Structure formats: C-alpha cells, structure tokens
Structure 1
Amino acid sequence: MKNKNLLSLLAPLFLGLCLIALPVNAADLAQAKSAGLVGEQMNGFLGLVQPDASAEIQALVKSINAQRLAEYQRIAAKNGVAVEEVGRLTAQKVIGQAAPGQFVETPSGWSQR
C-alpha cells in the first residue's frame, strides 16, 4: 500500500525531473541522450553510457544527479521510505518512457531502446 501512495507522488516528480535545471540542462540532456552518451539507470540516476564522455557531459550528469538526489531525499523523508526506493520507483517510470534510440540500464548492462 505504501508503494501505491509513493507511486502517486512520483508523477509530479517525473515532471519535475523533466523540468529540472531548465532551460540549458534540459536541452543538453536531451542531446546527450540522443547521442547515446547518457542513459537512465535502474537506481533513478543518470549514467554515462560512454565512460569517456567529455568533461561537460560528465558535469551535466553530476549536476542533474545531485538535483535528483535532493528531490528523492525530500520525497523519502516526507513518506518515511528509503531514498533508494524512491529512486528505484522513479527509474521504473523513466525507463518505461524512454524514447526510441535512448539507452537504459538493464540487469545485464546498457540497452538501446
């Protein structure tokens, strides 16, 4: 039951993640995902598909992940659940909605949609 309540909170979170750090980061993130440099991980954070991505892309991932962590912590504290649970549930939603051609993490590694 707790997961259903948490899931209802994730809809606005998902929207918030899409809007986080607008306008520059959103455009940069979309480009990095389209180029296959960055993908969504199963823990709710971004990951580098290409470990040798530029310092700019690495900084973008680090910045967005820091913002996501802060939001996950806020939601976890409000609902009395683990931060990891919020991240995992968010990942399920984000990965499920990944656009064709984007990379997502699977138990066996990166997979292109």
Structure 2
Amino acid sequence: MKNKNLLSILPSLFLGLCLVALPVSAVDLAQAKSAGLVGEQLNGFLGMVKPDASAEIKALVDSINAQRLAEYQRIGTKNGVPAEEVGRLTAQKVIGQAAPGQFVETASGWTQR
C-alpha cells in the first residue's frame, strides 16, 4: 500500500527534482550530462561517469545530490518509507526518460542511451 501511494507521487517528485536543480545551474548540469561527465544512478542520485571531471562539475553533482537527498527524506517521512526507496523509485523514472546520448547506470555499469 505504501509503495502504491509513493508511486502516485513520482510525477510530482520528478518535476520537483528538475526544479531543485534549476537554481543550482541547469545549463551546467545539462552540459555535464551531454558531455558524458555525469549520469543518473540506480539509487536516484547523480554519479560521475568520468572521475577526472573538473572540481566545478564534482561540486555541481554534490550540490544536486544534497538537494535530492533532502527531498527524498522529506517524501519518505511524509509517506512512511525509507528515503532510499524514494530514490530508487525516482531513478527508475529518471533513467527511463534519459535523453539519447546520456549515461545511465545499469546493473553492469554505465551505459550510454
């Protein structure tokens, strides 16, 4: 029952995550994804596809991931589920909607769409 309730809020969560990233630097995130430097992970967080990315890109990823964690915790608390579960469910949606050319994490590692 809790999963069903949580699944019903995923569209608004996805929109919220997009909006959370906008004030940080949406253009930089889009560029980092397009350049194959970062990608979406199975846990609902951004990951470094290329570990040698600049400190600026790493800081961007850390900032967005901190905002995502706060949102996952808020939603998890509201729905009585662990934040990790919120992240995993969000990842399924975000990975499914990844643009061609972007990297996403799979069970066997990074894959380019």
Distance 1:98 1:29 in 2: 13
Q: Which runs of 4+ in 1 moved over 4 A?
A: none
Tell me which residue corresponds to 1:12: 12
Tell me which residue corresponds to 1:99: 99
Q: CA RMSD in A?
A: 1.0
Q: May I ask how many residue pairs the two structures share in their alignment?
A: 113
| Letter in structure 2 aligned against 1:34 | S
Q: How many angstroms does 1:24 deviate by?
A: 5.1
Q: How many angstroms does 1:17 deviate by?
A: 1.0
The 10-residue stretch of structure 1 (23-32 or 3-12) with the greater mean CA deviation from structure 2? 23-32
TM-score (norm 1): 0.96
With over 3 angstroms needed to count, the CA separation of the structure-2 counterparts of 1:55 and 1:73, relative to structure 1, is same
**Once the two structures are aligned, what percentage of the paired residues are identical?**
85
Distance 2:77 2:102 in 1: 31
Gaps of 5+ in 1: none
With over 3 angstroms needed to count, the CA separation of the structure-2 counterparts of 1:92 and 1:21, relative to structure 1, is closer
Tell me which residue corresponds to 1:32: 32
**Does the CA contact (< 8 Å) of 1:20 and 1:26 recur in 2?**
no
| Letter in structure 2 aligned against 1:48 | M
TM-score (norm 2): 0.96
Q: Secondary structure at the match of 1:43?
A: coil
Tell me which residue corresponds to 2:67: 67
Distance 1:31 1:66 in 2: 20
Distance 2:8 2:46 in 1: 22
With over 3 angstroms needed to count, the CA separation of the structure-2 counterparts of 1:23 and 1:76, relative to structure 1, is closer
| Letter in structure 1 aligned against 2:19 | L
Gaps of 5+ in 2: none
